[in-house]
A and B are shown apart, each in its own frame.
Chain A
Amino acid sequence: MNNRRNVEIVDIKQLSSDVFSMWVKDEEIASNGKPGQFASLYCNNETRLLPRPISICEINKDEGLVRFVYRVVGKGTKEFSELKVSDRINILGPIGDGFNLEGKNVLVVGGGIGIPPLLELSKHLDGKKHIILGYRDEVFLDDEFKQYGDVYVSTEDGSSGTKGNVIDAIVANKLLEDNEIDMIFACGPTPMLRGLKDFANKNGIKAQISLEERMACGVGACLSCVCKTKEKDHHTHVHNTRICKEGPVFYANEVEI
């Protein structure tokens, strides 16, 4: 991986009351980034020492641009939301091991702020794609997915799509009955991933899930970002693995969540 870089923001937009979309100019991630990988974004405020891991939402290889879509949940993401076009930000990436592009008839399942990385993924998957996007209430990015597959929405308050969660939407739309699904790709909050892991196992389908954990180094050195594993990990030699290095995407059955 290349050194941390100070990159320019070329576009920044608000997508919902607390979700922002930002395009930066970075040849490195634009040429080498893969769906499911992420970047470390550093705060300009020096009292905040640790990088914020943010997934690659989209890449524009020709123009050397990378898109991040993030929700304001704390001080760092608040700072990022206040950046303007031509401001600069330090980033490191692409980081981690992303999705394996496989399957002929697949479910792409995102929950909340887990949805953004699935956009670049959906661009690259061959075969039939059923894209299920779960929100609490406000929807974002759903329109942009429509060019890559059939989109189904769920909201907890029922304001759009199926009322309930992503599994309710999969069931309500008979996606398993009507298709021979051979892979599930998922990113979202842990309870959703846990639910999907069970759902995938019950239905005998393989699943790739993208996990989150607090990170300090973002390069595999500090062991803050680990997740429990079923087997002994080849690097750590204990039953846990580094999400920033071996992940963030894992086969659901390799990890304990």
Chain B
Amino acid sequence: MFNNEINMSVNIAGVEWKNPVTTASGTFGSGIEYSDFVDLNALGAVTTKGVSNVPWEGNQTPRIAETTSGMLNAIGLQNPGVDVFIERDLAFLKEFDTNIIVNVCGRTERDYCEVVEKLADNDVDMLEINISCPNVSEGGITFGQNCDSVESITKAVKKYAKQPIIMKLSPNVSNIGDIARAAEAGGADAVSLINTLTGSKIDIHRRKFELANKTGGLSGPAIKPIAIRMVYEVAKAVNIPIIGMGGIMNAEDAIEFILAGASAVAVGTANFTNQRATLEVIAGIYDYMKKYNVKDINELIGCVE
């Protein structure tokens, strides 16, 4: 399908991706369910659902609510724990010719380090450290909201990691550039943004919150303008690569992120609307490059004027 004269491959912290498109954590499981629809070999990388040291039950239901051009989720990082993950999900993913990015979550610094250490000698290409989940009472976002804690948790996981570390940033902060600088200072090899924005929805007929957790993380096209602005700010603040995400539904959205300064992009909520969204984004980026005679995707990164 793709003409060899057009280069779509990017290098993210020393890892070669065949194209700049991955999945946003939590929207694609570990790829098993989506492999019915998507040839995982076609993706630049697969980013998994958050994995913790022990199994997590997650929050009460309802865990999601739809909003105009968006959705709220408060899954609460339910996952089977790193041991089951390695045995089952990683074993499955290893069969594909794509990069594997494991998203890591925890309640304490120790939790994160334990997962990172267990993954260190496994066939994993990159680790994404989620310090931005708004849906758990301990850990998650609490690490991601001030510069000191971002720097110190980045340093801590770097001690155990054998793979490049991507710090996943929260948009629920007053200055995302400062947070990104703190991650870079702590030794992060890349950053990804944005995670969801904390929001809420009320059912006026029942006079109750729509989510059992009351608040949840807003994702989807509704948050894209904020994500674009933040990627642009972070691109100016740091010298490490950025994986951009937040409301990417199609290739045009993805290209906006790349022009704003993202070296790669992740497709999240769009997978729920269209199981093949990732593939359509890849094909659409290629068409755009052909149309504007762009020979190398790297020429586009951050070139907005």
Contact = CB atoms under 8 A, between A and B. Distances in A.
Decide whether A and B are members of one complex.
yes
Given A1-B36, A216-B73, A221-B28, A50 B58 contact: no
A218 B273 CA distance: 10
Q: Which residue among A213, A235, A236 has the maximum number of chain B CB atoms within 10 Å of its CB?
A: A236
Contacts of A104: none
B212 to A, nearest CB: 10
Interface string A150-179: 000000000000000000000000000000
B69 A47 contact: yes
Contacts of A222: 26-27, 29, 64, 73, 75, 272
B286 to A, nearest CB: 20
Contacts, number: 107
B14 interface: no
B73 A220 contact: no
Contacts of B81: 237
B84 A220 contact: no
Interface in A1-23: 1-4
A221 B58 contact: no
Given A238-B80, A239-B57, A224 B28 contact: no
Contacts of B71: 49-50, 216
B78 A49 contact: no
A51 B36 CA distance: 18
B55 A238 contact: yes
B219 to A, nearest CB: 9
Interface in B52-79: 55-58, 61-66, 68-71, 73, 75, 78
Contacts of B271: 217, 221
Given A48-B66, A222-B26, A239-B57, A216 B272 contact: yes
Contacts of B37: 1, 3-4, 219
Q: Which residue among A47, A49, A215, A240 has the maximum number of chain B CB atoms within 10 Å of its CB?
A: A49
B214 interface: no
A49 B55 contact: no
Contacts of B66: 48-50
A78 interface: no
B272 A226 contact: no
Interface in A206-257: 213-227, 235-240, 245
B103 to A, nearest CB: 13
Contacts of A65: none
A92 B33 CA distance: 14
A2 B272 CA distance: 15
B101 to A, nearest CB: 16
B220 interface: yes
B206 to A, nearest CB: 13
B58 A238 contact: yes
Contacts of A239: 57
Contact of A221 (B29, B64, B84, B273): B29
Contacts of B56: 238
B275 interface: yes
Contacts of B63: 214, 223-224, 226
B64 A49 contact: no
A80 interface: no
B70 to A, nearest CB: 7
B57 A238 contact: yes
Interface in B152-191: none
Contacts of A2: 36
A223 B75 contact: yes
A50 B273 contact: yes
B132 interface: no
Nearest to A48: B66
Given A213-B61, A217-B271, A47 B75 contact: no
B33 A49 contact: no
B23 to A, nearest CB: 10
Nearest to B62: A214
28 contacts: A2-B36, A46-B69, A47-B69, A50-B71, A50-B273, A214-B61, A214-B62, A216-B64, A216-B272, A217-B33, A217-B271, A219-B275, A221-B32, A221-B49, A222-B27, A222-B64, A222-B272, A223-B63, A223-B78, A224-B63, A224-B64, A224-B73, A226-B63, A227-B61, A238-B57, A238-B78, A238-B80, A239-B57
Interface of B: 26-29, 32-34, 36-37, 49, 55-58, 61-66, 68-71, 73, 75, 78, 80-81, 84, 220-221, 269, 271-276
Interface of A: 1-4, 42, 46-51, 92, 213-227, 235-240, 245
